[in-house]
Amino acid sequence: MKDKLRDFDDEKLLALLKTGDHLAYAVIYDRYKTLLYRHAIRILNNQEQVNDTIQDLFLSLWRDRDKLNIELKLSSYLYAAIRNRLLDHIARNKFQSDYIDSIQEYIQSAVPVTEQQVRLNELKNLIEKEVEALPPKMRTIFRLSRNEELSHREIAVQLNVSDHTVKKQINNAIKILKPKISLLLAIIPLI
């Protein structure tokens, strides 16, 4: 039966997927997993993260099959979805990467370790106070993203909210925290 479905075009497979047809889902997966991988690896050269993101995309495709409203071709939808997920991942990690870079610069500086540690602890405490001052829902979502390193989708499932809500809350938190952290870094230089 699966071999017969391989000859179906994407529109027919998508219609079958919406009815819960596992074989149609398997054919779509087989048809696009390698193509999506090749596309995604050019965006983010991290095999593990690319594979996780592709699995997450197909999981959400199955889970949300009855709500799918794909106006483009299925291939266009999948390419855009994987690109957007990877860009979200890159943006989420940019904040962490900037923080790690500043810590690495800090470690390489000539200031004695004890003084550096005092400054770093003071900065961490001040940043934690700023995070604590966020609205409760935003704070929870931000901590799950940054401390637990959960994806937007994982947070959305855990908190029973949409991916869009998670993304919006994280972006709002960063908009609130970024100027405050920049100010803190100016007040408490790590070097």
Task: Say if 100 falls within a structural domain.
Answer: no
What does the alpha-carbon distance between residue 153 and residue 151 come to, in Å, rounded to a whole number?
5
Report the pLDDT value the prediction gives residue 36, as an integer from 0 to 100: 92
Same domain as 31, residue 79: yes
Residue 59 predicted with pLDDT over 90: yes
Beta carbons within 8 Å of 170's beta carbon, 6+ residues apart = 92, 141, 142, 145, 152
pTM recorded for the entire structure? 0.50
Last residue in a domain, options 65, 93, 121: 93
pLDDT of residue 126: 79
What is the rounded distance in angstroms from the CA atom of residue 158 to the CA atom of residue 34? Answer: 29
Supply the range of the domain harboring residue 1. Answer: 1-93
